[in-house]
Amino acid sequence: MADNIPKPPRVRFAPSPTGSLHVGGARTALFCWLYARNRGGKFILRIEDTDRKRSQEELSSEIINEMRWLGLDWDEGPLFQSDRFEIYRQRALQLLDDGRAYRSEPDEDGATAVIMPVDHGDITFTDLVYGPITVSGSELKDIVLLKSDGSPAYNFACVVDDHEMGMTHVIRGEDHIPNTPKQILLYRALGWKPPKFAHLPLILGEDKTPLSKRHGATSLRAFRQDGFLPQALRNYLALLGWSPGGDREIMDTAELIKRFSLKKVSRKAAVLDYQKLLWMNGQYIKKSSAGELVNALQPLLAGTEWEEVPRERIETIVTLLGHRLKSLKEFAAQTGYFFDRDISYEPEAVEKYWSGEGIIELLRETRKEIALLDSFTEDDLEKSLRGLIDRLGIKAGVLIHPLRVAVTGRMDSPGIFGILLLLGKELVLERIDKALEYLHLNPPPESK
């Protein structure tokens, strides 16, 4: 029979615009999207903006923009529940007419809510993740359909829309499990077949309490501003409660789509491990071209001194720094020394690399060597400084580390020759002079 052939699924993500899009919502959206894409179905975006007081248009557009940034696209929508109040009203009136709902006592303004009584029978459904769940109707309160201000209650609007929009699967956070029996009663009252339900495990912070503001930035906006790449976040979020099995972790989107299945979604709460996310971001940064990284970086640099720097130079610096970055936010913090201005020295760098015997002499010799260079290419620089290192009979690091502190002020940096090149001869000599001045005023102890 035609009924036995599974139809491509229709899955929706239905955020309420009462706040920014957070990790939990983004994970739900991603799982819905992966499921639809894996099965050749449709992904629908529905904005549940029924709470006129709190729902804000800006939050709706922020959610939509962050979903786009994350790389999720939808086949239908965004549909707004605020455009559909008449539909909910009609359905509620129908239930009143059928004698399946009643009106509440009028409130002080004489307004009434529409409510559906609940009978005592058991309600059972099979969750695609958690398995069979049974709730006794006697545990439930009567279900509000329309509030006295005429706006629909969440459960009612959700059921009307999921039915009218032809949803086959409702995939959402496990915090909605208590709503599902109520929604099933609504389907029954309206004479409709309920969709399949799949609830996703909770997301915890590292201290194993439910993820919240206390755990720091958890909105997508914050992750974007902190320099995470969308493809890295997508990969990481996919692993919050799902795994394809084995120890496969780095997966591009095509592979996520190919492997995703609800069968492999865990019932166990997932923990957001910020260090792991940073590590994964670093992996994606390594894989990206300098051009891609600068594209992602540019919005973060708006309004900073980097805004004026030509793209080409930023690209060169990004290439130099590339594999050292775990997030793009570190870029500005690690590169201030590329601007022509006084730099400050990290105290631990001074202590570690400027305290050896003969440090002043060594920097003087280095300065002389660099001053002699007519052509200032990376090769020339490397050749002349390696020559000096050989003549002095020292290890390369003995010269390179103090020189790095002189020109960057930092304990560590990308390859020194690339940095010298980008700074240019004049600035390099100026910085070595400043370092010598500093060391005259703050002489290092005689020996280490």
**Under 8 Å between Cβ of 33 and 14:** no
- Binding window for ligand GLU (CB under 6 A); candidates: 9-17, 55-63, 389-397, 433-441: 9-17
**Least distance from ligand GLU to the Cβ atom of residue 329, Å:** 29
Q: How many residues are there in the chain?
A: 448
- Binding window for ligand GLU (CB under 6 A); candidates: 8-16, 53-61, 219-227, 250-258: 8-16
Closest to ligand GLU by CB, 29 vs 421, is: 29
Closest to ligand GLU by CB, 196 vs 259, is: 196
Residue nearest to ligand GLU (CB): 172
Query: Binding pattern to ligand GLU, positions 99-138, x when CB under 6 A?
Result: ----------------------------------------
- DSSP code string of 194-263: --EEEEEPPEE-TTSSB--GGGS--BHHHHHHTT--HHHHHHHHHTSSB--STT-----HHHHHHH--GG
- Binding window for ligand GLU (CB under 6 A); candidates: 10-18, 70-78, 318-326, 379-387: 10-18
**Least distance from ligand GLU to the Cβ atom of residue 36, Å:** 14
Closest to ligand GLU by CB, 24 vs 282, is: 24
- Report d(CA 146, CA 164) in Å as an integer: 18
Closest to ligand GLU by CB, 44 vs 320, is: 44
**Least distance from ligand GLU to the Cβ atom of residue 16, Å:** 4
Closest to ligand GLU by CB, 153 vs 300, is: 153
Q: Which of residues 156-215 bind ligand GLU (CB under 6 A)?
A: 158, 172, 176
Closest to ligand GLU by CB, 51 vs 346, is: 51
Q: Which of residues 11-30 bind ligand GLU (CB under 6 A)?
A: 14-16
Does the annotation mark 213 as catalytic?
Answer: yes
The residue count for binding ligand GLU (CB under 6 A) is 7
- Of 233, 409, 414, the residue nearest 323 (C-alpha): 414
- C-alpha distance from residue 93 to each of 48, 117, 152, 154 (Å): 21, 15, 12, 17
**Least distance from ligand GLU to the Cβ atom of residue 47, Å:** 9
> Is residue 130 left, alpha or beta, with left meaning phi > 0 and alpha meaning psi from -120 to 50?
alpha
Closest to ligand GLU by CB, 198 vs 423, is: 198
- Report d(CA 238, CA 37) in Å as an integer: 14
Q: Which of residues 289-328 bind ligand GLU (CB under 6 A)?
A: none
18: tokens are 């009462």
Strands 143-146 and 114-116: what pairing? Answer: antiparallel
138: tokens are 């006697």
- C-alpha distance from residue 438 to each of 29, 37, 154, 335, 409 (Å): 56, 62, 67, 21, 12
Query: Binding pattern to ligand GLU, positions 139-158, x when CB under 6 A?
Result: -------------------x
94: tokens are 């129908």
Closest to ligand GLU by CB, 155 vs 413, is: 155
- Of 227, 230, 157, the residue nearest 190 (C-alpha): 157
Binds ligand GLU by CB under 6 A, chosen from 48, 62, 66, 174: 48
Q: Which of residues 365-394 bind ligand GLU (CB under 6 A)?
A: none
**Under 8 Å between Cβ of 130 and 199:** yes
- Report d(CA 444, CA 435) in Å as an integer: 12
**Least distance from ligand GLU to the Cβ atom of residue 117, Å:** 23
- Of 196, 197, 195, 185, the residue nearest 95 (C-alpha): 185
| Active-site residue, selected from the candidate residues 141, 208, 213, 263 | 213
- Report d(CA 279, CA 413) in Å as an integer: 19
**Under 8 Å between Cβ of 432 and 365:** no
Residues with active-site annotation: 213
Q: Under the rule (CB under 6 A), what is the footprint of ligand GLU?
A: 14-16, 48, 158, 172, 176
